[in-house]
Amino acid sequence: MTTYDEAVNTILRYTHALEIGEVLFSRIAMGPGASAAFGVIDNPPQSGAKTEKPVFALSGPPSGALINCETLVRPGVLKMRGIMDVRHQTIPAEAADSVSRKMPKTFVRWTRLTRNGRGYRVTLNPTERTGPLAVMAAANFLTIIPERTSVKAGDGIEVLPLDRMGIQSLA
């Protein structure tokens, strides 16, 4: 068994030593999911043309790996398919609770968005009532809290839907 960091270090060493590709980035200022990397590995030339394969290395814990899929892999794959506008739809919501501690880096939370009489309300701290895997399973949105920011109950915040239906799924 190997940890994520050991695997990435091995890939970085061999990629550099064997000159078989390039690591374009490793480690990002986001949690969970900071241990992410992206690079390209050279394929042997076929028909005289050199080709490259993209490689995404994702964070080990389930929460970070799934957040990386949604925020890094999904837009990357869409761009590779020729789709230029890969921005995630965002929806304004009101925070139902608060995140009082200012995080040193951008922090992503699995959240649940509901309708209320005035619009939409997002619960930022559901893990305090249930476990993290139950929260991930019940989440319908991600909320990105920028670095060095705190959120108070009642503040406005943008949320990202986890399905293509977005806001329509709340109808």
Is 85 within a domain? Answer: no
User: Could you tell me the residue range of the domain that residue 66 belongs to?
Assistant: 4-80
Separation CA 94–CA 112 (nearest Å):
12
Looking at residue 48, which CATH number applies to its domain?
A: 3.40.980.10
The predicted-structure confidence for 71-85, as pLDDT tens digits, reads as follows 989 999 999 999 999
Domain C-terminal end among 34, 49, 80: 80
CA distances from 30 to 41, 59, 68, 76, 97 (A): 25, 11, 10, 17, 21
Statement: residue 28 has pLDDT above 80: yes
Task: Report pTM.
Answer: 0.77
Q: Structural domain tally of the chain?
A: 2
The reply to whether 76 and 134 lie within a common domain is: no
